[in-house]
Structure 1
Amino acid sequence: MASPFQVEKVTTLTGHRDCVYTLERAPENQKFFSAGADGMVVRWDLTNPEQGELIAKVSSSVYALRYVPERNWLLIGHNQNSLEVLDLEQKQIVKTIPLPPAAIFDIQYSAQSQLVFVGLGDGTLVSIDLEKLEVQKAVRLSEKSVRAIALHPEKQEIAVGLSDHQIQILDPETLEVKQTLASHTNSVFTVAYTPDGNYLLSGSRDAHLKVWDVENVYTEHVSVIAHLFTLNHIAFSPNGRLFATCSMDKSIKVWDAQSFKLLKVIDKARHAGHGTSVNKLFWSSHWNQLVSCSDDRSIAVWALTLK
């Protein structure tokens, strides 16, 4: 496996007191947010990585964050039955939107429709009107969790990964199911459209990475055993040519986004990687740095440079 680039660990960020579950972009290219089981929401600066800034503290685990650029808000998925809307300018919670009492596994935001989609542990998908800051629709898609949501970059379609092993394709306005994809053999933990919208990628507890051909009615295009254990998250590089996957097997893998071939493995043995499950990735446009967070309470920053 000849890799076109080399990987170097830039730094390790510590300060969280428990597992770190999620990462999210910030207004500035060089900054990002993290959150996890300690309820702390922290802002980090890649140009000065030693010093994290605590910007919010909630009373339960946070699995999901979403930044809303037009309003400079950070949406915090608070697992005690609410979505917190944090105004980053004022540094205060401007609204608490009540939700059913279930874990919030994912939050996605459509700038076009001004809708926020929230996936809940009780199988409900909720759409929230950002103008009114209230729930617009809620639909129960499954007896099991909604784990992941992806918005198609152009079409009126959203993909939802469920713990009942299925992926459902929905209309974002009505939340009606247009199509069901069934081929994973365990919970679907992550879904992501390619930046051009031609393919949908999914990763599951069955350790498989699957690629679905959107233009060809979501027929299965590629299926590979990508990791040893659960595939937790998929993130695309800023230029869209690469994507990375991370897993409960403690590794991060980098893939070619056109051929879907594996290019690089980042792990503990070769790169002083994480010691436990790698939960989320954030691929920053700041020096093309890849950020990962883990159950080991740390955040790692990786530099990928062409050889």
Structure 2
Amino acid sequence: MITHLHTLSGHQNPIYALANSNQKDTFFSAGNDKGVVEWSLNTMSFVKVILPVQSSVYALHTYQDLLFVAQRSGLILVFDLLEQKVIATLSHHQKGVFDVKTIAHKNEIISTGEDGTVAVWSLKDFTLLYNFPVLQNTVRTIALSNDAKEVALGCKDGIIRIYNSDDYTLIKELEGHKFAVTALQYAPNGTYLISGSRDAQLKIWSLPDYTLSNSVPAHMFSVYSIVFHPTLPYFATCSQDKSIKLWDSETFKLYKILSLEKNTPGHFHSINKMIWSTDGKYLISTGDDRQVMIWEFTL
């Protein structure tokens, strides 16, 4: 069902961020190195360093022909993939930026990170529209509901905070994790929000009222990424415990563990980030071992 296809090497330091390109068969990676790297899924090889960066990259986010590069310095670079140049620098955060998302119907960008604030930016001219404090320390991750009407924030205090995207009022606080919330995703079918944490648990929050409906002891250590397959009822998780797990997104049955400890190919350090290719053919993973691994997904 899911098999190791290729390992891409070249990064000299831990990798924290992955994003699909605006082109079907390319993707980007970045981390503690001094640049954002483009890779080809056609040739399974390095393409180029698309832009240099001054500090570590904690998050990458693609929207149409724009790539947002969130850095440890607090700056977010806006890179135009057609013109191949930086067209704006978003400056508000005082510490590292851990996540960036776009709310298309509002023409807005939202960002958050180590300073515990959320910044809202204009997609039209990249000006800062609004900002508000969430908590005194880190907000690690952002998830948007399928209609983008609600924004979920995973926080260091273990609480998931749900905001209305129209006016950014706080709707609900979800308490269930013992430690920092490190991964969040809304299910594509719109029936639940799933969260992962440093407590190694997955929590399933049923929509629309966010009641806790299931708790899954998923990993040995922190869950760093949760990614749903673009078309099929599966999702993958990865962890500080160096494993990738493939799950049924309806029953939460565990299908596959990819780990050196299970005698499969795998990473030999913490796995920090995963994405699916846009066509769902490949799962892409990366982490502290500086490797980018490509996994082929077949039914």
TM-score w.r.t. length of structure 1: 0.94
Of the three residues 10, 13, 18, the one matched with 1:15 is 10
Partner residue of 1:277 out of 267, 270, 276: 270
1:49-68 maps to which residues of 2 (within 5 A)?
49-68=44-63
Give 1:219 shift: 0.3
Contact 1:237 1:288 in 2 (8 A): no
Give the alignment partner of residue 203 of structure 2, picking from 203, 210, 230.
210
Aligned counterpart, 2:37: 42
2:236 maps to what in 1? Answer: 244
Residue 104 of structure 1 aligns with which residue? Answer: 97
Task: For residue 286 of structure 1, report the CA deviation from its aligned partner.
Answer: 4.0
Q: d(CA) in 1 for partners of 2:272 and 2:33?
A: 15
> Counterparts of 2:52 and 2:154 in 1: how far apart (Å)?
28
Q: Return closer, same or farther for 1:155/1:37 CA change in 2, 3 Å cut-off.
A: closer
AA aligned opposite 1:232: Y
What is the letter of the counterpart of residue 14 of structure 1?
Answer: S
Distance between the aligned counterparts of 1:200 and 1:39, measured in 2?
35
User: Structure 1: which 5+ runs fail to align?
Assistant: none
1:83 Cα shift? Answer: 1.1
State how many pairs are aligned.
298
Q: Read off the aligned partner of 2:171 and give its amino acid letter.
A: K
Any idea what SS the aligned residue of 1:258 has? Answer: coil
Contiguous gaps of at least 5 residues in structure 2: none
Aligned residue for 1:262?
254
Instruction: Tell me which residue corresponds to 1:180.
Output: 173
Which residue in 1 is equivalent to 2:281?
A: 288
Report what 1:126 is aligned to.
119
Give the Å deviation of 1:171. Answer: 1.0
- Residue 240 to residue 175, structure 1, CA distance change in 2 (3 Å): farther
Corresponding residue of 1:170: 163
CA RMSD of aligned residues (A): 1.2
1-side partners of 2:264 and 2:23: how far apart? 28
Amino acid at match of 1:211: I
Once residues 280 and 163 of structure 2 are traced to their aligned partners in structure 1, the CA distance between those partners, rounded to angstroms, is 36
Q: Which amino acid aligns with 2:146?
A: P
Instruction: Report the Cα offset of residue 285 of structure 1.
Output: 3.6
Q: Distance in 2 between matches of 1:11 and 1:298?
A: 10
Structure 1 residues 229, 193: closer, same or farther in 2, change over 3 A? same
Higher relative contact order (CA 8 A, sep 6+): 1
The alpha carbon displacement at 1:152 in A equals 0.6
Name the CA distance, whole Å, in 2 between partners of 1:171 and 1:28. 32
Structure 2 Cα separation of the partners of residues 213 and 207 of structure 1: 20
Q: Distance in 2 between matches of 1:79 and 1:175?
A: 25
The answer as to whether partners of 2:120 and 2:131 remain within 8 angstroms in 1 is yes
Q: Residues 230 and 248 of structure 1 are in contact (CA less than 8 Å); yes or no, is this contact kept in structure 2? A: yes
Deviations 1:161-186 (A, max 9, x none): 00011000001132211100011000
Write the distance in 2 (CA, Å) between the matches of 1:257 and 1:201.
Answer: 10
Q: 1:289 to 1:155 in 2, by over 3 A?
A: closer
Identity %: 35
Cα pair distance change 1:155/1:300, threshold 3 Å: closer
| Structure 1 stretches of 4+ moved >4 Å | none
Measure how far apart 1:155 and its partner are. 5.4
Indicate if the aligned counterparts of 1:238 and 1:288 stay in contact, CA closer than 8 A: no
- Contact 1:237 1:243 (C-alpha < 8 Å) held by counterparts: yes
Q: Which whole-Å deviations, capped at 9, do the CAs of 1:145-170 have from their partners, x for residues lacking one? A: 11010111125111110001100000
Match of 1:302 in 2: 295
Note the C-alpha offset of 1:52. Answer: 3.2
Among 19, 41, 47, the alignment partner of 1:24 is: 19
Per-residue CA deviation, residues 242-286 of structure 1 (Å, 9 max, x unaligned), is 000000000000000111111110112422200000011111144
Maintained 8 Å contact 1:85/1:95? yes
> How far apart are 1:226 and its partner, in Å?
0.3
